[in-house]
A = this chain, B = another copy of it.
């Protein structure tokens, strides 16, 4: 910039004005500065700019796995909102590892992102307290913050499961399995709660052998589903706690002699093309992301007030697998 000023024979401030398109410069001067910029191949260094101004016009997104279709849709939505607000987006996957979440979030903070959107992996978000105190906005999405009062945008997990399980009960099922993700994950716990409450409300007992919580690795899910289909009183329906469970459960059910009903949490591509097509309780990941990002930018624009918790509802999509009679 100094070189540009020298070459154009003007002051530093004038170059700054031209570069930023500020008014109050003679067209003639603008011209001279422009030529100098081109001749020298000048490119403004935004790091220096950031140092002087408060905002960096960037936000950070920490999520579970960028390669998971659910989170990649969410990311894309966050990206669009950030773009609308002139912000760039840092992304990072925590891989469900609390330390990695913290590492990423703090690294983004050290770069002085204006705000963070976080899908929590950690059980304790107090490490963000100093950052938030220093003015970085944080919105949690898909799961709430732990040990920290903060904005959160969630799906009504228990309510969604309630819809799905009620649907199975209406088809005549009594012995309904619930296969979910690890208990410590907030969404998994909420979904399990939805299942238990619905069964209780319908006056149906739950045999603990019908419930299985743990990693969604195919081997585990496959073993559990297989086990539940054996014995004198096998389950006649399966509620799958997320899309990964659904897919694995489906692979098992397809090979069963008698039909078993399936309803899954989360929609997934091609669910309608499978046979039977899969009935699901769909979340809207793009809407989750969009809502969270919009809330974040409202905070950045100065909206104060207590932390908000927004809940989006799930939607039952009937396709066939959930309508197998019990």
Residues on the B chain within 8 Å of A48, using CB: 51
Flag if B79 contacts A72 (CB, 8 Å). Answer: no
Residues on the B chain within 8 Å of A251, using CB: 273
Residues on the B chain within 8 Å of A268, using CB: 269-270
Q: Which of B46, B73, B79, B247 contacts A270 (CB 8 A)?
A: B247
* Interface residue? A45 (CB, 8 A): yes
Flag if A47 contacts B112 (CB, 8 Å). Answer: yes
Residues on the B chain within 8 Å of A223, using CB: none
Given the known inter-chain contacts A90-B89, A93-B76, A270-B269, please indicate yes or no for A51 contacting B47, CB distance below 8 A.
yes
Flag if B66 contacts A69 (CB, 8 Å). Answer: no
Given the known inter-chain contacts A89-B91, A273-B251, A274-B274, please indicate yes or no for A79 contacting B66, CB distance below 8 A.
yes
A99 to chain B, nearest CB (A): 13
0/1 interface trace, chain A 234-258, chain B, CB 8 Å (1 if under): 0000000000000100110010000
The docked-state distance in angstroms from the alpha carbon of A72 to that of B47 is 28
A298 to chain B, nearest CB (A): 22
Q: Which of B56, B69, B108, B275 contacts A88 (CB 8 A)?
A: B108
Instruction: Please choose the segment from A22-30, A126-134, A159-167 that sits at the chain B interface, where 4 or more of its residues have CB less than 8 A away.
Output: A126-134
The docked-state distance in angstroms from the alpha carbon of A251 to that of B90 is 37
The docked-state distance in angstroms from the alpha carbon of A44 to that of B68 is 33
Flag if B66 contacts A111 (CB, 8 Å). Answer: no
Given the known inter-chain contacts A88-B90, A92-B89, A270-B270, please indicate yes or no for A43 contacting B110, CB distance below 8 A.
yes
- Other than the known A43-B131, A270-B270, what 9 A-B pairs have Cβ atoms closer than 8 Å? A41-B133, A41-B134, A43-B134, A75-B91, A79-B91, A88-B90, A89-B90, A89-B91, A269-B270
Chain A interface (Cβ within 8 Å of chain B)?
41, 43-48, 50-51, 56, 58, 65-69, 72-73, 75-76, 79, 83, 88-93, 107-112, 130-131, 133-134, 247, 250-251, 254, 268-270, 273-275, 286
